[in-house]
Amino acid sequence: MAARRIDGKAIAQDVRAQVKRDVAAWVEHGHEPPGLATVLVGDDPASAIYVGGKQKASAEVGILGFDHRLPEDASHEEVDAILRDLAGDPRVSGILLQLPTPPQVDGAGLAAKIPPGKDVDGLTPISAGLLTQGRPGLRPCTPLGVMELLRRHDVPLEGAEAVVVGRSDLVGRPISSLLLAANATVTVCHSRTRDLAEVCRRADVLVAAVGRPRMIRGDWVKPGATVIDVGMNRTDEGLSGDVDFEPAAERAGLITPVPGGVGPMTIAMLLRNTLLAAQAAAEEPVGAAWR
């Protein structure tokens, strides 16, 4: 039996529409609109496209944009000064420093100093620590997107065997923490895992975040399992996930395609995070939809 496909594009659209309604309601209640600041150093075309996409998506839902672009030779101190200003600016709810930065700028070091309340990427050490300890905080966007896809499909997580392949700070680790917080029994795999295929076959929920095209074979999938493919790999045949989709879809119950699965969720969750950050900054109770 072929798996049902999870339509990440449609779910992301739905999240974005909901954020737009919630931003409008927030403003109607007399609050300032949320603001998203992006800081881009240099003129890398791919980074410019990412930043432009985030600003466009923000504007579409009524989030104010603060789009800072610095030349390739901007100094570390200049970028630091802008980030400090943004950290203290009450109109700015969320700050993103686009990485990588040119070599004279310690991008990772500066990004780590973004205050936790404005860390809408959820990737600073403080946000990561809050997540690991199960305390409130902003969570990374792609992992949040994965959880939203699972929630929308009522995938049972309590007591379920979840296997996450990949342990990066960006994807694997935070997804594992979120699944653990949802009471799944989580196994985290990596490049030194012994008999990866056998571990994957245990999974009720299998998350692939490796960066190797079609590495997860169809016969690694437990019949009826939910398979979430975070991988985005450019190959000669186009964009490919980490899962060998067709054979995996023969065995899975639910599966995300690539493209059109996890990918579109990241920006949607960034918008949601920005609204959440604005609400938290105003010390308003967070709406039930956000819990």
List of residues contacting ligand NAP (CB under 6 A): 142, 165-168, 170-172, 189-193, 196, 209-212, 230-233, 262-263, 266
Pairing of strands 226-229, 254-255: parallel
Q: Which is nearer to ligand NAP, 86 or 243 (CB)?
A: 243
Q: From CA 196, how far away is CA 250, in angstroms rounded? A: 20
Catalytic residue of the set 7, 22, 54, 118: 54
Whether the CB-CB separation of 165 and 189 falls below 8 Å is answered with yes
DSSP string of 218-247, one letter each residue: GGGSPTT-EEEE---EEETTEEE-SB-HHH
Q: From the CB of 59, what's the least distance to ligand NAP, in Å?
A: 21
Alpha-carbon span 277 to 121, nearest angstrom = 11
- Token readout for 156 is 């049972």
Q: Which residues pair with 5 in a beta bridge?
A: 255
Q: Which of 7, 22, 121, 242 is catalytic?
A: 121
Active site residue 121: yes
> Does the annotation count 54 as an active-site position?
yes
Report the nearest approach of ligand NAP to the CB of residue 259 (Å).
9
Task: Output the residue with the shortest Cβ distance to ligand NAP.
Answer: 168
CB of 52 to ligand NAP, least distance (A): 16
How far is Cα 279 from Cα 276, in angstroms, rounded to an integer? 5
Q: Which is nearer to ligand NAP, 268 or 278 (CB)?
A: 268
The residue annotated as part of the active site, out of 7, 98, 229, 244, is 98
Q: Which is nearer to ligand NAP, 55 or 279 (CB)?
A: 55
Active site residue 89: no
SS3 181: helix
Going by C-alpha positions, the residue among 98, 102, 90 that lies closest to residue 54 is 98
Task: Please state the closest distance from residue 227 (CB atom) to ligand NAP, in A.
Answer: 14
Pick between residue 74 and residue 149 the one whose CB is nearest to ligand NAP.
Answer: 149
Q: Which residues are catalytic?
A: 54, 98, 121
